[in-house]
Chain A
Amino acid sequence: DTAVSQTPKYLVTQMGNDKSIKCEQNLGHDTMYWYKQDSKKFLKIMFSYNNKELIINETVPNRFSPKSPDKAHLNLHINSLELGDSAVYFCASSPSGRPKNIQYFGAGTRLSVL
């Protein structure tokens, strides 16, 4: 059983299109995240939801819109795709409360914008 699963694994699309990535976790965690990993492998947080509520919104273009229908799901919709959006997008989840804020990652979605 995959703990954090995201679909699709690969996404190839043209500039200007709109696309969505889906994520689901079966770990019972309250917090979910979207990260972007660029070509230099730098992993940067984009958004975080805690129990369906947006709690972290880093400086991300508003073409990116996350949506959490319930605490086990976090989707990412991207409008008007640009070449610079090409990257690997990771979904992650973590259990609530400190001290453990350990991130459990999905396998990633490799987005290529042509």
Chain B
Amino acid sequence: SQKIEQNSEALNIQEGKTATLTCNYTNYSPAYLQWYRQDPGRGPVFLLLIRENEKEKRKERLKVTFDTTLKQSLFHITASQPADSATYLCALDESGGYQKVTFGTGTKLQVIP
């Protein structure tokens, strides 16, 4: 069966450290992988997209890697800040005839001052 799993439900880290979140999938062949941020009481907000033929993508303090052999994406936030505390969702976009992304289970990140 198809699964998208994110490493843990919750992750606590100290301010200033690098947070690393994982997204593992089985029985998917995504053409693209996306990462979103969701704050309490709000809808998810798009952060980054990485293509299957890209190894790494960066945006300011964010870095995403995509390993189609391992079927895994890593999402890094460097120099983390309390304002980075949120739930982070990965989403897979498979090549197909219609537009659909499938979301992972999410990881709640708490950055402790």
> For the complex, is A56 an interface residue (Cβ under 8 Å from B)?
yes
Taking a contact as CB atoms under 8 Å apart, the answer to whether B44 and A102 are in contact is no
Size bracket of the A interface = 20 to 34
Taking a contact as CB atoms under 8 Å apart, the answer to whether A105 and B102 are in contact is no
Taking a contact as CB atoms under 8 Å apart, the answer to whether B99 and A41 are in contact is no
Size bracket of the B interface = 20 to 34
Q: Report which A residues bind B (CB closer than 8 A).
A: 4, 31, 40-45, 48, 50, 55-56, 90, 92, 94, 96, 98-108
List 22 contacting pairs A-B, 8 Å CB cutoff, sorted by A.
A31-B99, A41-B106, A42-B103, A43-B44, A43-B89, A44-B103, A45-B102, A48-B98, A48-B99, A50-B98, A90-B43, A90-B44, A92-B43, A99-B32, A101-B32, A101-B100, A103-B34, A103-B36, A103-B91, A103-B101, A106-B43, A108-B43
Q: Report which B residues bind A (CB closer than 8 A).
A: 31-32, 34, 36, 38, 41-46, 49, 51, 87, 89, 91, 93, 98-103, 105-106
